[in-house]
Amino acid sequence: MRKVLRMPYRLVFLSSVLLLPSFWAKAQQRLSLKDVPSLVQANLPKLNAAKANVAADKSLIDYEKRSLMPELTVGYQANVATFNNITGMNYPGLMMPISGPPSLSNEMNFVPGTAAAALLTWRPIYFGQRSAAIERATAQFKLSNTNYNEQTFRYQIDAISTYLDAVFLKTLISSHRASITRYSSSLEQTLVLAKTGLRPGVDTIQLQSSLAQAEIELLQTENSYQQKLINLSSLIGSQETNGNLILVDTVFNNVDVSADRSLNIAQHPYFMTAAAQKDLTQAKLEEVKKIWRPKLDFWGNIYSRGSGINAVGAINKSEGFNLTRDNIGAGVQISFPVFQFYQVNAKKRQYGELLRADEFNLKQLELDLNKQNNLAWQQYKSNVSILSKFAIRLKSTTEAFNSLKLSYQSGLIDFSRLAQAQYELQQAEMNSAGAQLVLQRSLLDISIAKGDLDLFFKLIR
C-alpha cells in the first residue's frame, strides 16, 4: 500500500524535472539571423531618435512653405509717461509712434496713455529667397533621411557580425567539450593501464593537467560567448539584458558568388549620405547668394490711442484709458541691404569651399568603396580555398588521433605523441570553425561593399 502512495510523488518529481528545461526554453528568446536586421531597425533607441530627426526636418519644409502667408499681429498696451509727449513713448515695433500735443514748458507730471493696434504684413514676392529656403529645408530632410538609413545599415552590420561571432564561439564550445571528452576517456584508460603497470603513472598526471587546461579554455570560451549574446541583445533592443538568447541559425551553406561583381555606388548608403551632404551645402550656397536681394513688404495698420492730455494741453488722466483717436494706414516698402555684399561674399566663399570639400569626399568615398568591393571578392576566393584545406586537415588529424590512440593503448607509443595528436586535432577543429567564420565574414563584406545586406542572406542558406 505504501508503494502505491509513493508513485504519484515520484511521478510529480519526474514530471517537474522533465518540464523544467522546457520552461527555461520558453523564457529564452529564440533569434534567427534573418530577423536581426528588422529587430535592429524597430527596437534600437538610437535609430528611433534618428527617425524623429527625420520627421522634425520634414516639418521644417512645411514651415518654410508657409512663409508666404501674411502675418497679422494685434496688441494692446498701457503706459505712463511725462506730460511732454505721451504717445511718443509707445513701445516700438507694433505700435506706430505718433507725436502727442506739444507742451509749452517742460513738465514732469506723469499721465497715462493707451494704444491698441493690428498690424498686417505680407511679403508675396521673395525674389527667389523663399524658394531657396524651401530647397535648403528639403536638402536637410534628405540628409536626415539618408543619415538614418546609414545608421540603420551600420547597426545591422554590427548585429549580424556579432551573431556570426557568437555562432563561431558556440562551435568552439562544442570543440572544447569534445576535447574534454577525449581527455576524460584517455584518462580513464590511462588509470587502468597504470594500475596494471602497462603505462607509467606520470601519464595520468599529464592527462589530468591537459584535462584541466581544456576545462579552463571551455570556461573562457563560454564567457566570451555570453558576452557576445549580451552585446547582441543590446543591438537588437532586447529586454534580455543577461543575453538569454537561443541562436536558431548555427549552420550555413555557402553558394557560389563568382558571378556579379558590379558595384552600384550611387545606391550605397554611405555614398547617398555623402551626396545628400553635398546637396545641402549647395542649397545653403544658393540661399546665401539670394540674401543680397531686395525685400518687398506690404503692410496695413489699424491704430487707436488714448491720451491723458488733450490738444490744448489740459490733463484728464481718465481719458488716457479711452481709445479716442483712430488711425488707419497702409503702404508698401522695398528695402535693399546696400553694404551687406561684403559679408555675403565672405559667406559665399565659405560655402563654395565646403562644396568643393564635399565633392572631394565623394570622389574619395567612391575609391574606398571600389577598393572595399575588390578586397572583399579577393578575400572570399582565398577563404574558399583555405576552407577546403582545413577540411582535409581536420579529416587527417582525426584519423591520426584515432590511430595513435590505439597505438598508445597497445603500448606502441609514448604519451607525448598521443598528446601532440590530440592537440593538433583540437587546433584543426578550431581552425575549421574559424575558417567558416572568416568565409561568412567575407560574404558579409561583399554585401557591405555593395550596400545591400539582403544580398548576404541570399548568399547563405
Q: Which residue has the higher pLDDT, 347 or 405?
A: 347
pLDDT mean over 134-142: 94
Q: How many CB atoms lie within 10 A of CB 57?
A: 19
Residue 20 has pLDDT above 50, yes or no: no
Distance CA 454, CA 461 (A): 12
Residue 15 has pLDDT above 70, yes or no: no
What pLDDT shows up at residue 93? 66
Residues 6 or more apart whose Cβ sits within 8 Å of residue 458: 255
What pLDDT shows up at residue 197? 59
Q: Binning pLDDT at 50, 70 and 90, where does residue 365 land?
A: very high
For residue 335, what is the enclosing H or E element? strand 325-335
What pLDDT shows up at residue 91? 57
The top-level CATH class assigned to 30-69+127-294+340-459 is mainly alpha
Percent pLDDT > 70 in the chain is 82
Q: Which of 91-105, 122-136, 429-443 has the highest mean pLDDT?
A: 122-136
pLDDT mean over 308-332: 81
Q: Binning pLDDT at 50, 70 and 90, where does residue 141 land?
A: very high
pLDDT mean over 355-382: 93
* pLDDT, tens digit, 9 for 90 and up, residues 305-319: 888 877 777 788 888
* pLDDT, tens digit, 9 for 90 and up, residues 297-306: 888 888 888 8
Q: Which residue has the higher pLDDT, 412 or 129?
A: 129
* Measured torsion, CA atoms of residues 62, 68, 69, 70, in degrees rounded to the nearest 10: 150
What pLDDT shows up at residue 186? 74
Residue 367 has pLDDT above 90, yes or no: yes
CA distances from 460 to 179, 325, 389 (A): 29, 85, 21
What pLDDT shows up at residue 278? 96
* pLDDT, tens digit, 9 for 90 and up, residues 57-115: 999 999 888 888 888 888 888 877 766 665 555 556 666 555 555 566 666 677 777 88
* pLDDT, tens digit, 9 for 90 and up, residues 42-58: 999 999 999 999 999 99
Long-range CB pairs of 226-232 (<8 Å, 24+ gap) are 228/162, 228/165, 228/166, 228/169, 229/166, 231/162, 232/31, 232/159, 232/162, 232/163, 232/166
What pLDDT shows up at residue 361? 96
Q: Binning pLDDT at 50, 70 and 90, where does residue 364 land?
A: very high
What pLDDT shows up at residue 424? 82
What pLDDT shows up at residue 189? 72
Residue 13 has pLDDT above 70, yes or no: no
Give domain limits for the chain: 30-69+127-294+340-459, 73-124+296-335
